[in-house]
Homo-oligomer: A and B are copies of this chain.
């Protein structure tokens, strides 16, 4: 299923931008911002890989992820003001990003042979711990802990994926439906004014 791979890279790129912008808001310097961008983009998948014993962690053996982050960091510096104005567009990519991270987290964990509840946990970990690490490193209470819908949407997406995939055996259909679930839940929540933060 090749089409999910570019989505994963776009999600990584958007998370990197989100990390850099947060760091700039905090008046971090260049290298500090780069580090926060990296951690935001790769933190969730890294923690998942460490926990399930996938060694070395995935992004060390695939240059595309580092390239996606490098582009994200460059874009964040060059077009910072434009990006802040395009917050709405960023939000779409960010939401697709967390949806893709959730499903890929679930699938990576399934492929490693873990039971269903562990797959679900790892889907959420993949999607949210990049942002958690970003907030810890910038000395904030992780936003996700006070904005329920973000992790809840991931959880719902993971449940939908696991349910559909075990019923139908159709990976692509299950993936698309799960991604749509995350996006719809988050959009409805935002419409009701719960949150519009990028990369929460």
B136/A136 in contact, CB under 8 A = yes
Q: Scan A120-137; emit 1 where CB is below 8 A from any B CB, else 0.
A: 010000001000100011
The complex is assembled from copies of this chain, and their number is 3
B145/A137 in contact, CB under 8 A = yes
B51/A57 in contact, CB under 8 A = yes
| A residues contacting the other copy or chain, number (CB 8 A) | 46
Q: Scan A72-114; emit 1 where CB is below 8 A from any B CB, else 0.
A: 0000000000000000000000000000000000000000101
B32/A145 in contact, CB under 8 A = yes
Q: Which residues of B contact A38 (CB under 8 A)?
A: 121
Between-chain CB contacts (< 8 Å), 27 pairs: A23-B145, A26-B141, A26-B145, A28-B145, A31-B145, A31-B148, A31-B151, A32-B144, A32-B145, A32-B146, A32-B148, A32-B151, A33-B145, A36-B145, A38-B121, A51-B57, A52-B56, A53-B55, A53-B56, A63-B117, A66-B118, A136-B137, A136-B139, A138-B145, A139-B139, A139-B140, A139-B141
Which residues on A are within 8 Å of B, measured CB to CB? Answer: 23, 26-33, 35-36, 38, 46, 50-53, 55-57, 60, 63, 66, 112, 114-115, 117-118, 121, 128, 132, 136-142, 144-148, 151-152, 155
